[in-house]
Each structure stands twice: as C-alpha cells, then as structure tokens.
C-alpha cells in the first residue's frame, strides 16, 4: 500500500503532490483525531450531565425520605395518642365541650406551628356528635365517599396520596398527604389521620433552577413540580409501576427539544406507597451541542487555515518550479537566452542560479568548440599544405634513394668514410620522413631512432659544439607505444638551433623518456642560454595561442595542437627555462591511449 501510494505520488505533478500530502498529513489526521475527540467529548459531557442529574435526583429522594419519615413518626405519636382517641370517642351534645377538650390538647398545634414541613394535620371521624373544630372534622357523606377515606378505614397500614385544595384566593394547590387509620378500641366509630405536607416547604427544599423536578406517588398525578403547569398531570416519562425499585436514565424528545431524564423510585417508610421522582434537564443537551459545535468549528478552522496557506504556497511554489522548468526546457533546446528569473533564496533559486551558470559555461564551451573547430580546420589545411610540399619533394623517391646510395658507394670506394656515413644517415632520415608522410601513428622506438639519426647528422655538421644523450627507462615499452610521427624532431631541432645558438662548444642535448603512473614524459633539455621570465612567458603564450603575424614558435605551436587534437586538451607541451642554465621542453602523453592508437 505504501509503495502504491508513493508510486502514485511520483506520477502526479507537484501541485497534486502537495494537495495529496496536505490531505494525508493534515486533513486525514485532524479528521480522525477530531472525530475521536468529538465523540469522546460528547460522551464525557453526557456522562457529566447525567451524573449531575442523578445527583440531583438523589438529593430530592433524600429530602423526601427525610420529610416523609418525619411525618410518619409524627403520625405514630398521634395515632396512638390516648387524648386524641378519647376526644374521638366522646359524645358532644354541646360544641363547647368539644372546644374545651380540643383546646386542652396542645400537641396538634405544636406540630402545626413547629414543623415547617407540615402544612396541616386533619383528623376525620364518623362520630355524629363531632363538629368541625381546628384539626378535628366530622366525616360527612362526601368525605366517606372518597377513595382515600375508604382505603384508610379498610386497612391499618399507612399510605400516601396526593390531595388538591384551594386557598382563600381560589388558587388550586396540591399536597402530599399521609393517610392512616386511628384504631378506636372499644368504639364503633372510625377515625382517619391526614397529615398534609407543605408544598411551599417542598419548593424551598427541593426546588432547583438548574433542573426540572416532577414527583408523583404510586400511579397518581404529579403533586409537586418545579413548573406550576405540571401539577395534576401524568408523568411525562414511562414508569414501570410493577418494579418496586424502578430506575431509568436517558433522553426524551419534549417540544422539539431533547431532554436528559433520570427517574428513580422511593419506597416510603413503613408504607406500601412509592414516590416516583423524575428529574429532567432541558438545557444540558443544548449546552453539549454548543460545545460540540465549538469543537467542530475549531477542527474546521484547523483544517481550513492550513488549507488556505497550502493553496497559496502551492500556487507560488509551482509557478517558480514551472519557471525553472521552462528555463531548463529552453536550455535543452539550445536556446540560451533565458530571460525569466526565480525569486527567493531557497534551493529553487539556487538551482536556477546554477542553471544560469551552466548555460553561461555551455555558451563558453560552444564558443571554445567553435574556435577549436576553426583551429582544427586551419591545422588540417596547414598539414595538407605540408603534405603537399613533402609530396612535391617525393618525386620518384626510389631515384633519390638510388642516387644517394650511388654517391655513398663512390665516396666509400674513394676512401671518404665520413661522407659515406653522412649520406647514409641522410638517406635513412629521408626514408623515415617519406614513409611517415600521410600516416597517423608510428612506434615510439622508431620516432626515437629518427631523432638519434637527426642528431648524428647534426653532430657531423657542428662537430664538438654539442653532444647528445638519450635515456629511456626500462619500464617504458617503446615498441608497444604509438606516437604521432615527426613529433620529437622539431623540438630537438628547436633546442639545437635556438637553445645552443650562442654555444661554441660544450653544448648538451638530453632526451629523457620516462613514465609516472599512466603518464609518459619526454623531456628534451639543453644547457644553452635559457630565457628570462618575460621571454619565457611570451613563448608559453605563443605555444598555446596562434598568431599568423609571427614566424617564431610555429613548430612548437603545431606540435602542441597536434597532441591536443589527438589526445585531448589535458595533454601537450610544458616549457621551463632559467637564464644561463638552459631550457626543458616536456611532452606529456597518455600511456593508455598510446597503447590503443595505431
């Protein structure tokens, strides 16, 4: 997969490569990490709000448990109070007697006055002589028909019911009421105790600005809610009433809004009744969504801003690459007039600068090659002229050989051995020159022998003016190395005629042939007058540069050019000279090419 991806990148242009890298290196990781963070953040926030909701539900449950337990304890005391049962059993033909006995009973007033959670304590009895006074009420037919009264008469256990009533202003309100039967021993009357819990007290203890709380008992309607319009209605969530410890936490859709809900069950103390507490948060989900939207906006911002930067950088970078590419295309098509430029100081601008330098060098090389071709043609013309002159002197060479041989024999017969030797050497030299006219290469040994013949002829001419020495190192294979013909004789001739021009006697010409690694050196040294530095500089320049207006150093220039054309520009003649010491002309040749060329 990795190889395929990089293979696809190699086939795409730079702009697409940068976009692909941006997608792989920025968008993909940020999307993956951002998705994980969004999911994890949503889960953490959801769990956080649900934990808070559950904590508030537990808080309400604890408060209700405390209040209902307190109400039960009060009911225990009142239910088994002998004073209360005595009042309920008596017959009151005069209301004053009832008033007197009830006023003497202070416990009921104390509970009403000292317990804020109790809104009202009421005792109902079917004693026909009982009139309504304070907490005591006659259970008339309407009361006796109520469900809670009938349930209380039939059972001895405590139960809780919601009751509704209206205040003096006509406002309807609900109370959670503890209902239980007061056992009437040795009496035919029935009595029921009702303890109403204060709704205002519940609001004070339970009410919360953060969450909506709805409380119901058994299957009855809501008797307490932090929202007034919910009183008397059914619970908005499903409740499994058959489950004694029903608990549920989740989400519900309410008026186009998702709400977190937590429902729990509170079995009441010493009672079969159960309170169902529903705690709901309508803004938690909105808060979570807002946070998620903010996180999503941050992620999109983290993707978009680098994307814009990458886009402009890609346009800028690709335009510079295209400029460089166009310039290289021009250079590859031998169009060296590059007018574009790449701004900046990075690698691309350096590459463009290198291209410009390379183009200048190519132009310079082209100029040099053009000049070299012209020189080569001039050299060829000169060589053709030389060959023409030599061919002109080659008329009937056998006639010249035979004539020289006849003269040599007559001189030898006449006893003039020196003349015979001179004629023999001259014929040998002429034969070498004529045989190598028009040839490309000859062996090094033959070239050296020709030079030695030339020196022998000049020795006969100048006598004791000079002596010559030829040294060839043993590791130089003179028979296997090939050299341009007539290459050494002009140098030796130059040393003899110019180097030893002012020498009357004691002159010396030394020819040394040796090698170093893959280079062959042929040094031709004289011990003549030598040259000053200025004169040597002029000679070196004349050897490298042709000047048709001069007639000196033409031979050395031609030799140098022949070597360079044959072996390359790294090879040729090097001249060293010291005034009153002598001059050395060094010929440098490549051994490997001398072995291959024939």
Cα distance between residue 577 and residue 582, in whole Å: 6
Complete DSSP assignment for 34-95: HHHHHHHHHHHHHHHHHHHHHHHHHHHHHHHHHHHHHHHHHHHHHHT-HHHHHHHHS--SSH
List per-residue pLDDT tens for the chain, 598 residues long.
445 545 555 566 777 877 788 888 888 888 899 899 999 998 999 899 999 999 999 999 999 999 999 999 999 999 988 888 888 888 888 888 888 888 888 888 888 888 989 999 999 998 888 888 888 999 999 999 999 999 999 988 999 999 988 877 777 888 999 999 999 888 888 999 999 999 889 999 988 878 899 999 999 999 999 888 888 889 888 899 888 899 998 888 877 788 899 999 999 999 999 999 999 988 888 888 889 899 999 989 888 888 888 888 888 778 877 887 777 777 777 776 776 677 777 777 777 777 777 878 887 887 888 888 887 777 776 766 665 455 445 445 555 555 666 666 666 676 666 666 666 677 666 677 766 666 678 888 888 888 888 888 888 878 778 898 999 998 888 888 888 888 888 898 888 888 888 888 888 999 999 988 889 999 999 998 889 989 988 888 888 887 655 555 567 888 888 888 888 888 899 999 998 889 999 999 998 888 866 6
Cα distance between residue 213 and residue 195, in whole Å: 23
Question: Phi-psi category of 543—alpha, beta or left, where left has phi over 0 and alpha has psi -120 to 50?
Answer: alpha
What is the model's pLDDT at position 76? 92
Tokens 């056998």 belong to 398
Give residues with Cβ within 8 angstroms of 268, minimum separation 6.
Answer: 65, 68, 72, 158, 160, 274, 275
What is the model's pLDDT at position 230? 87
Do 266 and 274 touch, CB atoms closer than 8 A?
Answer: yes
Domain segments of the chain: what residues? Answer: 48-282, 436-596
From the candidate CATH numbers 3.30.450.20, 3.40.50.170, 3.90.1150.10, 3.20.20.30, the one assigned to the domain spanning 48-282:
3.30.450.20
What is the model's pLDDT at position 392? 46
Which tokens in the block code for residue 41? 């953040």
| Dihedral sign of CA atoms 345, 346, 349, 353 in order | positive
Cα distance between residue 442 and residue 424, in whole Å: 22
Tokens 């999503």 belong to 296
What is the model's pLDDT at position 352? 76
In CATH, what is the architecture of 436-596?
2-Layer Sandwich (3.30)
The residue among 462, 465, 467, 469 whose CA lies nearest residue 503 is 465
H or E segment to which residue 425 belongs: helix 417-435
């Amino acid at each position: 997969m990795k190889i395929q991806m990089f293979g696809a990148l190699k086939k795409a242009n730079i702009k697409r490569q940068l976009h692909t890298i941006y997608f792989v290196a920025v968008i993909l990781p940020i999307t993956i990490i951002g998705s994980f963070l969004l999911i994890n953040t949503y889960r953490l926030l959801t769990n956080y709000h649900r934990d808070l909701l559950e904590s508030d539900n537990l808080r309400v449950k604890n408060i209700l448990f405390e209040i209902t337990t307190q109400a039960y304890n009060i009911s225990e005391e009142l239910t088994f109070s002998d004073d209360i049962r005595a009042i309920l059993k008596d017959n009151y033909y005069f209301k004053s007697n009832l008033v007197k006995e009830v006023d003497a009973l202070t416990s009921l007033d104390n509970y009403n006055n000292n317990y804020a959670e109790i809104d009202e304590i009421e005792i109902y009895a079917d004693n026909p002589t009982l009139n309504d006074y304070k907490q005591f009420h006659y259970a008339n037919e309407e009361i006796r028909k109520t469900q809670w009264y009938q349930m209380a008469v039939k059972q001895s256990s405590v139960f809780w019911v919601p009751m509704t009533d209206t205040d003096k202003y006509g406002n309807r309100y609900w109370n959670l009421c503890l209902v239980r039967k007061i056992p009437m021993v040795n009496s035919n009357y029935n009595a029921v105790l009702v303890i109403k819990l204060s709704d205002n007290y519940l609001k004070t203890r339970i009410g919360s600005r953060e969450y909506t709380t709805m409380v119901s008992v058994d299957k009855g309607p809501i008797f307490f809610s932090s929202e007034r319009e919910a009183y008397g209605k059914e619970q908005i969530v499903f409740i499994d009433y058959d489950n004694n410890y029903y608990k549920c936490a989740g989400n519900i859709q309410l008026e186009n809004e998702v709400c977190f809900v937590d429902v729990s069950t509170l079995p009441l103390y010493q009672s079969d009744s159960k309170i169902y507490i529903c705690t709901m948060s309508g803004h938690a989900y909105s808060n979570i969504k807002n946070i998620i939207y903010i996180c999503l906006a941050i992620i999109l911002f983290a993707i978009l801003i680098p994307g814009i930067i990458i886009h402009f950088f890609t346009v800028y970078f690709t335009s510079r690459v295209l400029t460089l590419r166009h310039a290289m295309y021009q250079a590859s098509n031998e169009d060296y007039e590059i007018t574009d430029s790449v701004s900046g100081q990075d690698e691309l601008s350096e590459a463009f600068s290198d291209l410009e330098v390379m183009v200048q060098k190519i132009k310079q090389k082209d100029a040099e090659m053009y000049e070299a071709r012209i020189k080569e043609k001039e050299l060829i013309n000169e060589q053709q002229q030389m060959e023409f002159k030599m061919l002109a002197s080659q008329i009937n060479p056998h006639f010249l050989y035979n004539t020289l041989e006849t003269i040599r024999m007559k001189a030898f017969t006449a006893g003039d051995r020196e003349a015979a030797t001179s004629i023999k050497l001259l014929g040998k030299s002429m034969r070498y020159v004529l045989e190598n006219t028009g040839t490309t290469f000859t062996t090094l040994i033959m070239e050296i022998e020709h030079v030695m013949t030339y020196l022998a002829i000049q020795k006969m001419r100048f006598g004791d003016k000079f002596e010559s020495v030829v040294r060839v190192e043993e590791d130089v294979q003179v028979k296997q190395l090939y050299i341009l013909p007539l290459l050494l004789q002009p140098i030796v001739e130059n040393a003899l005629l110019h180097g030893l021009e002012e020498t009357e006697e004691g002159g010396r010409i030394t020819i040394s042939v040796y090698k170093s690694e893959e280079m062959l050196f042929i040094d031709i040294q004289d011990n003549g007058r030598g040259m000053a530095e200025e004169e040597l500089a002029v000679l070196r320049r004349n050897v490298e540069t042709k000047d048709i207006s001069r007639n000196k150093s033409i031979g050395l220039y031609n030799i140098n050019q022949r070597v360079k054309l044959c072996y390359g520009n790294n090879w040729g003649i090097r001249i060293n000279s010291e005034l009153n010491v002598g001059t050395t002309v060094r010929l440098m040749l490549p051994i490997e090419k001398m072995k291959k060329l024939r």
